[in-house]
Amino acid sequence: MTSRFADGLAVGSDLVSAAETAVRQALSGLSGPADLLCFFICGDDPDDVSRAGLRAMSMAPGAAVLGCSATGVIGDGQGVEVTPAVSAWAASLGGARLTTFALDTLRTDDRFVVVGLPDRAPDDHAAILLADPYSFPTDGFVERSEEVMGNLPLIGGLANAIQGRGAVRLFANGEIHTEGAVGVLLSGALNVSTVVSQGCRPIGPTMAVTSAEDNLLLELAGQPALARLEEIVSALDEDDRDLVASGLQIGIAMDEYAEKHEHGDFLIRGVLGIDPEREAVAIGDVVEIGRTVRFQVRDAATADEDLYELLDAHREEFGRVDGALLFSCNGRGSAMFGSADHDAVAVRDTLGPIGVAGFFAAGEVGPVGGHNHVHGFTASVLVFSSHQPAGGS
């Protein structure tokens, strides 16, 4: 049986040795030479991470290579958090065209300019993006990516490091980057798609935003936003009230013309606080008057159900899946599910015994409703399939 995708995982404080082991596992699992190698490194010392990254990049000289540091990695059907480890993922993509890139930011008086973007082509399918959250304006870049990259889906995550700021390392085609972002543009003869599981459940009704100012919701459905929220919370049972207290969210409908807005139809943003004097609710985004919103809660059971449902639906639509890259929030794993393995297991449970690897990100990148966004508490999955869905393009 031919294998076009494979993964590897090695745990140990000798990161160079772990990188060798993980990458070798991934490469040896392929039936042919690797065209793309991705790896992810969790380590205490950024210099050790750099050395491990250099070793990993040297092991697939004919492939496009991408990697980053992280506070946890995913491979071999499991997750490893805050423990020295390396995961690797290799793909043999045949006629695909792969273009690696590195992005830097030039700052002017009133704005930033991102340089290093690859030229676009009609047969581009998606781009993997790994960014340093401390030096690269990921939110602004991703939210406005359509202006320079059209409707190209972006998928990936914000890298991190156990030592935090200054310790993040990004890797692309033999070079180490200590700031900015790196990625690879996927083009040509391959079938890729995305799954973005935000893991929330709606509470209360959908409502139109009838008054707003910046990120403050002033009125919902013609009533003060805070009064609407209090009304919704008062009708909840005790368990859901506890979820509200631990972290209320709000969903912004992506399709205003949909007859119904179900739990997967919203872009999830956090509720940041309230302004009692103005009876307003502050949220983590700016919403225009007329948009449809719905309050949301998140817990392990909802996040589990959401991920499995989305992956099952993807398998039914796209058929056989060969491989996947998984970018899971570092607030998921053991913190949410009691196990670091949850998302990796879910992918293999639903999509089959495929090559899957990734890392626990400080923010996840992925499209919702056809637009790219940066998320939190999300699992973003880039899926490689054998065939297009019926009627797909």
Q: What are the Cα distances from residue 207, in Å, to 9, 16, 64, 244, 251? A: 46, 54, 47, 18, 10
Residue of 304, 307, 386, 311 whose CA lies nearest to 351: 311
| Residue 254: per-residue pLDDT | 81
pLDDT in tens, 333-365: 999 999 999 999 999 999 999 999 999 999 999
Contact 157, 73 (CB under 8 A): no
Q: What integer best gives the mean pLDDT of the chain?
A: 92
Mention every residue, 6+ apart, whose C-beta is less than 8 A from residue 277: none
Tokens of residue 190, six digits: 């391959």
Helix (H, G, I), strand (E, B), or coil: what is residue 81? strand
**Which residues fall within 8 angstroms of residue 114, CB to CB, at 6 or more apart?**
103, 104, 105, 106, 137, 141, 148
pLDDT of residue 393: 39
Q: Report the alpha-carbon distance of residue 3 to residue 356 in Å, rounded.
A: 13
21 neighbors 29 (Cβ within 8 angstroms): no
Q: Distance between CA atoms of 363 and 116, rounded to whole angstroms?
A: 22
- pLDDT tens for the chain, residues 1 to 393: 458 999 999 999 999 999 999 999 999 999 999 999 999 999 999 999 999 999 999 999 999 999 999 999 999 999 999 999 999 999 999 889 999 999 999 887 777 788 999 999 999 999 999 999 999 999 999 999 999 899 999 999 999 999 999 999 999 989 999 999 999 999 999 999 999 999 898 999 999 999 999 999 999 999 999 999 999 999 999 999 999 998 899 999 987 655 554 545 789 999 999 999 999 999 999 999 999 999 999 889 999 999 999 999 999 988 889 999 999 999 999 999 999 999 999 999 999 999 999 999 999 999 998 899 999 999 999 999 975 544 443
At residue 390, the pLDDT reads 45
Distances from the Cα of 97 to the Cα of 32, 68, 170, 173, 384, angstroms:
16, 22, 22, 15, 14
Written in H, E and C, the secondary structure of 158-224 is ECCCCCCCCCCCEEECCEEECCCEEEEEEEECCEEEEEEECCCEECCCCEEEEEEECCEEEEECCEE
For residues 112 and 181, what is the distance between their CA atoms, to the nearest angstrom?
Answer: 14
What's the pLDDT score for residue 3? 82
User: What's the pLDDT score for residue 258?
Assistant: 56
- State the distance between the two ends of the chain, measured CA to CA, in whole angstroms: 28
